[in-house]
Structure 1
Amino acid sequence: MGVLTKAWLVLACLLISMSGPVRAQTVTADDTARVLAGMAPSAGSPLAAVTEDPAWRRHAAFLDNAFNLLEQRQLSRIRSWADLNLAAPRPAMFYFFSGPDFLYADAFHSKATTYVMAALEPTGPVPDLTRLPPGSIGPALSYVERSLQSILSFSFFITKNMKSDLRDGEIEGTLPILYVFLARTGKTIRSASLIWLDESGGLHAGNEPATRNATRGARIKFAGADGVEKTLDYFSTDLSDSGVKASGFLKFCEPLAPANSLLKSASYLLHERSFSQVRSWLLKNSATIIQDDSGIPLASYDPRAWRFFPFGRYLGPIDKFPDKYQPGYAALFEHAPPLDFGIGYRWRTRESNLLLSVRTPSSDTTISAEATGPADTSYQPPRARRAPRPPEFIPMYPPPPRRDDFMFWPRW
């Protein structure tokens, strides 16, 4: 073998030996999500060393237990309910006043391919665990656990807590929580980036200079077990009348309509005059709406345009909202079939209410019959029947929050 040939072989071996570590140094968004969710990252990930930390192992055991319980008592039952009662899924779903609650968006509408979520809470930066100071993984994971506390126990985020939790620690914002929910629901994150909307609803990359009234958010591309790529857009925005007037958020959503909408633990804001625009917009641009009584008031629906399918029990609002009782809602739920899961502010199983509203095909020519599922002759509410008494919803963090612990969206 000649000297030149040997030299080329040595160089080739050197390049091969170098190529492995170079590739291994890339930290993906999916690896980050899995570590935050207490799940092992991919083989060769630089984050693999984190899983040897006792703090991470405790975190992983905690979340394993928490999500196993949540799957049994909540998520699997919601998916079963959705399979039985949601006739024809739409490609897009809207979840306003959501916080980072992808967990329930996915449970109710797992077949959507575009999720649009909106709330006041900021996105924060794209999480990068490689920038954490030495020894700070424990506090970072504690931030995740603290932020998840109320939704794991009561099915909703407590705004008072989120205002501090999402700004406290080495990682911050809604993105880390969205990462956890995506990982724990079996999704693979393919990319994550910051975005913003201009006043016309135009979408821009986060590194582009933003306009004065920019609506900031994040876009996550992900896939489930079937490999179909989906999009999650989360926007930090004011949904009051003055807020939507100044932003391009609703203009961005319009091309995605008609969509399926979800409203849960929404602080009864859509009962207020100052939220009339987003209320009207949802009624116009939704094919179906799933909500508890804190969503759109029943009186705002046109009964000629909607069919109503109530589930569970309506006991009225919690004490925090004494003036939001709806007599019409109570009458609608008199003979409603039971729910076997808890939802909303009345999170105990036998106290929860859920209303499925289906837009009738003839009510708006822009919404086709396909958008509302099968024809009216075949789409009937489930027959009211006595179901086996479901087990009590036991929170992970007893006791439940005191009345004074609740602080919901500000009254703009």
Structure 2
Amino acid sequence: MKIAAVLAALLLMPAFSARGESVSANDTARFLAGMPPSAESPLTALTREPAWQRHARFFDGAFAQLEARQLAKIRSWAAANLAAPRPTMFYMFSGPDFLYADAFYSRATTYVLSALEPVGAVPDLMRLPRGGIGGALHHVERALGSILSFSFFITEHMKSDLRAGQLGGTLPILYVFLARSGKTIRDVVPVTLDEQGALLAQATGTGKNLTQGVRITFTGDDGVERTLYYFSTDLSSSGVKHSGFLKFCETLAPGNSLLKSASYLLHSGNFTSVRTFLLNNSATIIQDDSGIPLGNFDASKWRFFAFGRYAGPIEKFPGRYQSKYAELFRQGKPIDFGIGYRWRTHETNLLLAVRLSPDGPGGIETAASGERDRPARPHPPRRPHYVEPRGYWFGWPFR
């Protein structure tokens, strides 16, 4: 890029879009993730700004720690314990958490994430006001703080983080997670679901019960094209009754499911529709104890593998203790990463439920690894302990 073009990028950022200069979704994702965009991208000039360089160093360190502490270990666990993978994975109450969807089910080809958080607009960094890059990147860092530190989004924080700043909604976060997971974004399309579950281009969708979403097509190191859907939707029974979300999911079933840090909503009577869908349409369910209560599983159709130890719910969720969970986890096998609200490794619980019944959807019959048949010595009892995250990043206050 010539010097004049560099100066134009720095001084006249909005003019690029006005003159038709294109910024690809993949370059935008890499820029937000603190990774260099392609050499020909208009965003390349902006990587010379001190704010972006500081942001890149910050994310390099944070994601390197996360990879070593959790993601690499999760992928190893999944490789050793998951068999007969399905092409679809469902992640209800996910927020924009593609990181863990990919880590647990990296062989899926269709990911369906869903939560209340808004989709937001496709980020157009070239339209930010001059000097606005630093503030926008700082907003992204704050929005990712809790999940990078504790493996989950803090709901109260996310409500404000994803509605504030110049880059609002879940889409910028999905961009960052895709880029940092080594994915290349090919296409991003806003979509809606009608009441019957039909997928429509956003511009053509009409009606009061439409479900807003986005479809992202991407590839990984293996070159396989994959699809990520995120839908902003009310997952309560009263909410899904008037939307086509579960009808759309049925077209992709059966699949594998992930539930973590789900606020124990599936313990409630107002979430029976989603709970029933997951039990009827999942080949495997990976969850912590905030997911589906153990008593809701038909023991004749599921086989359970417990990892870690069950210390009960954190204080924020009283009345959700499960004696059946406690009994199951007395023989919990060791786990070397933390997950969910009990994010410390020594008090984490992870349940792998494998559907065995041949009369399930699609005749699901998933084999379990022989590795899982060897009982593990139970952990010695420890006093449940939890420290509520209060805006700290690996021990340092957020900037």
TM, length-normalised to structure 1? 0.87
Alignment correspondent of 2:115: 119
SS of equivalent residue, structure 1 residue 366: helix
After superposition, the Cα gap between the structure-2 partners of 1:91 and 1:365, relative to the gap in structure 1 and judged at 3 Å, is closer
Alignment of 1:195-344 (within 5 A): 195-344=191-340
Q: What do residues 339-373 of structure 1 show as CA deviations (whole Å, max 9, x unaligned)?
A: 1000000100110000000001334263333xx13
**Cα drift, residue 382 of structure 1:** 5.0
Q: Secondary structure at the match of 2:273?
A: helix
Deviation digits for residues 23-78 of structure 1 (CA, Å, limit 9, x no counterpart):
99321000000000000000110011110110000000000000000000100000
Q: Cα distance 1:284–1:36, how it changes in 2: closer, same or farther (>3 A)?
A: same
Is the contact made by 1:87 and 1:379 (CA closer than 8 Å) also made in structure 2?
Answer: no
Amino acid in the other structure paired with 2:208: R
2-structure distance, mates of 1:61, 1:102: 22
AA aligned to 1:373 is A
AA aligned to 1:284 is N
For 2:295 and 2:378, the matched residues in 1 are separated by 30
1:174 aligns with 2:184: no
1:361 counterpart SS class: coil
Q: 2:374 aligns with which of 383, 389, 399?
A: 383
Change (3 A) 1:328 1:238: same
Q: What's the C-alpha RMSD, in Å, of the aligned pairs?
A: 2.4
Aligned-partner residue type, residue 338 of structure 1: P
Partner residue of 2:94 out of 79, 88, 98: 98
Q: Distance in 1 between matches of 2:146 and 2:52?
A: 21
CA distance in 2, matches of 1:138, 1:58: 9
2:367 to 373, 381, 392: 373
**Equivalent-residue separation in structure 1 for 2:294 and 2:61 (angstroms):** 38
> Is residue 128 from structure 1 mapped to residue 119 from structure 2 by the alignment?
no
Higher mean Cα deviation, 378-387 or 299-308?
378-387
Q: Structure 1, unaligned stretches of length 5 or more?
A: 1-20, 389-393, 402-412
| Aligned-partner Cα distance in 2 for 1:307–1:268 | 22
- Residue 197 and residue 387 in structure 1: after superposition, are their counterparts in 2 closer, same or farther (change >3 A)? same
Cα distance in structure 2, aligned partners of 1:25 and 1:147: 29
Larger Rg: 1
Distance across 2 between alignment mates of 1:385 and 1:237: 40
Q: Deviation per CA, 1:208-232, whole angstroms, max 9, x where unpaired?
A: 2431100001010000011110000
2:383 alignment counterpart = none
Measured after TM superposition, the shift of residue 385 of structure 1 is: 4.2
Alpha carbons of structure 1 residues 265 and 143: separation in structure 2 relative to 1, 3 Å: same
Change (3 A) 1:277 1:365: closer
Q: Which consecutive unaligned segments of at least 5 residues does structure 2 have? A: 1-15, 380-386
CA contact (8 A) 1:195 1:216 kept: yes
**Which deviates further from its counterpart, 235-244 or 23-32?**
23-32
Output the CA distance in 1 between the equivalents of 2:155 and 2:101.
18
Cα distance in 2 for residues equivalent to 1:387 and 1:74 = 22
CA–CA distance in structure 2, aligned partners of residues 400 and 45 of structure 1: 34
Map of 2:352 onto structure 1: 356
Pairs within 5 Å for 1:5-44: 25-44=21-40
Q: Runs ≥4 in structure 1, deviation > 4 angstroms?
A: 21-24, 385-388, 398-401
Distance 1:316 1:302, change over 3 A: same
SS, match of residue 363 in structure 2 = coil
CA deviation map 1:76-117 (0-9, x unaligned): 000000000001111000000000000000000000000000
Q: For 1:117 and 1:42, locate their aligned partners in 2 and report how far apart those are by CA, in whole Å.
A: 28
Q: How far apart, in 2, do the equivalents of 1:239 and 1:387 lie?
A: 36
Name the CA distance, whole Å, in 2 between partners of 1:359 and 1:62: 42
TM-score scaled to structure 2, two decimals?
Answer: 0.89
3-state DSSP class of the match of 2:196?
A: coil
Tell me: CA distance 1:285–1:312, structure 2 relative to 1, closer, same or farther (3 Å). Answer: same
Identity across matched positions, percent: 64
